[in-house]
Amino acid sequence: MFQRIDHVGIACHNLEEKIEFYESTFGLVVVSREVNEEQGVREAMLHVADGDGGASYIQLLEPLHPDTAVGKYLSKRGEGVHHIGYGVADVAKAMADIAAKGVRLIDERPRHGSMGASIAFLHPKDVGGVLTELVETPRH
């Protein structure tokens, strides 16, 4: 079902500071910056590697408001790993297959994610405490 780890999402208070850290410490390069109002985030994707299943990234996430998924996470747990995003070929099919196994979907239908992707989240309480995202990248 999973083609690769598409990205690891990391919650932070200050996006510009964290971008500077990842660039200067690890030499990663920002390939996309977006504001996603629906997800309540200002974010950047930093390219890590290319593999047979596609590329992988670090997604840095700053909340737009305290009362958002990432804002609540920061106030409860502080900065750190927020979620894992797996690449899938067909997000709607993956959602149906996973829901059939009894894992709760947070999203009833795919949403808009970074760089034109279709995304959907699985509830962390059903995945051993790991917020899990399915990512279908657009076909070129």
Alpha helices (H) in the chain, listed in sequence order: 15-26, 69-77, 91-99
Catalytic residues: 7, 43, 59, 83, 133
- Find which of Co ion, ligand CMX, none residue 117 binds, CB within 5 to 8 Å per kind: none
Q: How far is the CB of 133 from Co ion (least distance, A)?
A: 5
Distances (CA, A) of 21 to 18, 25, 60: 5, 6, 11
Single out the residue of 40, 63, 71, 85 in contact with Co ion (rule: CB under 5 A): 85
Q: At its nearest, how many Å lie between ligand CMX and the CB of residue 58?
A: 12
As separate numbers, helices (DSSP H) first and strands (DSSP E) second, the chain gives: 3, 8
> Measured from the CB atom, is 24 or 42 closer to ligand CMX?
42
In the complex, the residues that contact Co ion under the rule CB under 5 A are 9, 59, 85, 133
